[in-house]
Amino acid sequence: MVARGANDSSRHPIFCMKNRIADLSVKIGKLKLQNPVMVASGTFGVEYGELVNLRKLGAYIAKTVTLEPRLGNPPPRVFETAYGMLNSIGLENKGIDDFINEKIPKLKKIGVPIIASVAGDNSDEYAVITRKLSGSGVNAIELNLSCPNVKHGLRKGLIAQDGVAVYETVKKCRAVTDLTLIAKLSPNVTDIAEIALSAEKAGADAITLVNTFPAMAIDIETARPILGNVTGGLSGQAMKPIALKMVRDAYFKLNIPIIGSGGIMDYKDAVEFILCGSSAVQIGTASFIDPDAFSRVLNGLKEYMKRKKIKRIKDLIGGIVK
Q: Which residues are catalytic?
A: 147
Strand partners, 280: 259
Main-chain phi, psi angles of 312, to 5 degrees: -125, 140
Contacts of 232 by beta carbon, 8 Å cutoff, 6+ apart: 77, 79, 86, 87, 88, 148, 149, 212, 214, 215, 216
Q: How far is CA 228 from the centre of its chain?
A: 25
Q: Within the chain, what is the greatest distance between any pair of CA atoms?
A: 61
Number of neighbouring beta carbons within 10 Å of residue 58? 24
